[in-house]
Amino acid sequence: GSTLEIKDLHVEIEGKQILKGVNLTINGGEFHAVMGPNGTGKSTLASAVMGHPKYEITGGSIHLDGKDVLEMEVDERAQAGLFLAMQYPSEISGVTNSDFLRSSINARREEGDEINLMKFIKEMDGNMDELEMDKNMAQRYLNEGFSGGEKKRNEILQLMMLKPAIAILDEIDSGLDIDALKVVSKGINKMRDEAFGCLIITHYQRLLDYITPDKVHVMMQGRVVKSGGPELAKRLEEEGYDWIKQELGIED
Ligand code: ADP
Ligand code: MG
Ligand code: MG
Query: pLDDT tens across 78-134, in order?
Result: 889 999 876 566 677 788 989 989 988 998 888 899 999 999 999 999 999 999 999
**Is 31 inside any structural domain?**
yes
**How far is the centre of ligand 1, averaged over its atoms, from the C-alpha of 92 (Å)?**
24
CA dist 243 and 229 (Å) reads 17
What is residue 88's predicted lDDT score, i.e. its pLDDT?
61
Any ligand 1 atom below 6 A from CB of 42 = yes
The per-residue pLDDT for range 122-156, each reduced to its tens digit, is 999 999 999 999 989 888 888 788 888 888 899 99
In tens, the pLDDT along 12-66 reads 999 999 999 999 999 999 999 999 999 999 999 999 999 998 999 999 999 999 9
The residue to mutate among 13, 200, 224, having the most atoms of ligand 1 within 8 angstroms of its beta carbon, is: 13
CA of 223 to the centre of ligand 3 (A): 14
Burial (0-12, 13-18, 19+ Cβ within 10 Å), 128: buried
The finding on whether 47 has its CB within 6 A of some atom of ligand 1 is no
- Count structural domains, the chain: 1
44 CA closest ligand 1 atom index:
6
Q: Is residue 147 part of a domain?
A: no
- Structural domain contains residue 33: yes
Which protein residue has the closest C-alpha to ligand 1 atom 7?
Answer: 43
Determine the average pLDDT of the residues in 200-219: 93
153 CA distance to ligand 1 middle (Å): 25
Ligand 2: distance of its center to the CA of 39 in Å?
6
Sheet strands (E) in the chain: 3-13, 16-27, 31-35, 55-64, 67-68, 82-85, 92-96, 141-142, 166-170, 197-201, 215-220, 223-228
User: What is the rounded average pLDDT of the residues 182-196?
Assistant: 95
> Is 142 part of a structural domain of the chain?
no
Q: Is residue 27 part of a domain?
A: yes
Domain membership of residue 13 (yes or no) is yes
**CATH value at residue 170:** 3.40.50.300
Among the listed residues 224, 241, 184, the one whose alpha carbon sits nearest the alpha carbon of residue 208: 184
Atom of ligand 1 nearest to the CA of 170: 2
Report CA(240)–ligand 1 centroid distance (Å): 21
205: domain range? Answer: 3-90+165-248
Report if residue 150 sits inside a domain.
Answer: no
Q: Which residues of 30-61 are buried (b: 16+ CB within 10 A; e: fewer)?
A: bbbbbbbbeebbbbbbbbbbbbbeebebeebe
**105 falls within a domain:** no
